Amino acid sequence: MSKIVVLHSGGLDSSTLLGTFLQTTPPSEILTLSILYGQKHDREVYAAERISEFYHVEHEVFRIPSPVFQVRSEEGTPSSLTDDAEMPHQTYDELSTSVGVSPTYVPFRNGNLISIATSICLAYGGGIVATGVHAEDSRNWAYPDCTPEFIGGMQNAIYVGTYHRVRLVAPFQYMMKSDIVRLGLILKVPYEKTWSCYEGGDSPCGECPTCIERLEAFRVNGATDPVSYRRTNV
C-alpha cells in the first residue's frame, strides 16, 4: 500500500499542498506528518491536526529529541525557533539582505524532517513524500535546506536509498507565497484553521517574518487573511 506523506506544519504552504493533492487523491491514501523538533511552541501541530480532521486524512505526530538542534558550541548556529536567539521583526527579503542565513533557520531541519517522512513512507510500502518549500524560503539562501540544490540532492538520495520506492516532491519550490495563496483561495483551503507564526500565544504576532510574508501574500491577491493578529506591520 503506497502512501503520500505530506510534511504538514499546520501553516499556509503545507495546508495548500495538502489541498492540492486531495484534488486527485483519496484522503485514505494520504498521511499528514507533523514533527516536534524542539520548537518553542506547538500551536502549529494543533493547527495541523484540525486541518487533517477537516480533510478527513490521517495525521501523525513524530517527536525528535529536542537537544538535536540546540547550539552546543560558539561555532554552532543558533535559531530563534529553538534557542534563545531574538525573534526578528523583519521581512525575509530584509533579513537576506542584511543578515544572510535567516535567524529562524534551524540547521539541517528539513534534512531531518524529510528523512523521517521517507522512512515512514517506506514503512507503508513506498510512495511520495511532499514538502511545501517555496521560492521565498530559498531566496538568497536564507534557508539553504529549502533551495532547489538541496531539494534536488535529497530527491536523488531518497530515490536511490529506498530502492526507487519513495519519491520526494516539492511542487511549490519555484512559486512565491502569493502564488500559493492564489492557488489555495481557488481550492478553498481553510486558512482560518492554519497557524504560521513563529511565536506562540493565543493569536499570531503579525510581526515575525512569516506573519509579515503571509499578510503580504493575501494583500497581493486582494484578499484578507482570515486569522486575527495581535499586531500587523502590513
CA distance 185 to 95: 28
Which residue did the predictor score with more confidence, 99 or 166? 166
Q: What percent of the chain has pLDDT over 70?
A: 80
Q: Looking at 28-32, 139-143, 181-185, 202-206, which range is the least confident one?
A: 139-143
Q: Looking at 38-52, 96-110, 119-133, 189-203, which range is the least confident one?
A: 96-110
Residue 167 DSSP code:
E
Count CB atoms within 10 A of the CB of residue 129.
29
Instruction: Supply the pLDDT for residue 75.
Output: 45
Give the chain's domains with CATH numbers.
3-68+77-220 (3.40.50.620)
Which sign, positive or negative, has the C-alpha torsion 68, 69, 73, 75?
Answer: positive
Instruction: Supply the pLDDT for residue 27.
Output: 98
Instruction: Supply the pLDDT for residue 79.
Output: 46
Q: Looking at 108-122, 137-151, 204-218, which range is the least confident one?
A: 137-151
pTM score of the predicted model:
0.85
Q: Cα–Cα distances in Å, from 142 out to 16, 101, 136?
A: 22, 4, 9
Instruction: Supply the pLDDT for residue 82.
Output: 45
Instruction: Supply the pLDDT for residue 92.
Output: 53
Count CB atoms within 10 A of the CB of residue 87.
16
CA distance 69 to 67: 6
Instruction: Supply the pLDDT for residue 73.
Output: 45
> Does 186 score more than 70 pLDDT?
yes
Q: Can you tell me which residue has the cell 506528518?
A: 33
Instruction: Supply the pLDDT for residue 77.
Output: 53
Q: Looking at 64-78, 148-162, 215-229, which range is the least confident one?
A: 64-78
Q: Please write the tens of the pLDDT for every residue from 70-125.
A: 554 454 454 444 445 454 444 555 555 545 556 667 788 899 999 999 999 999 99
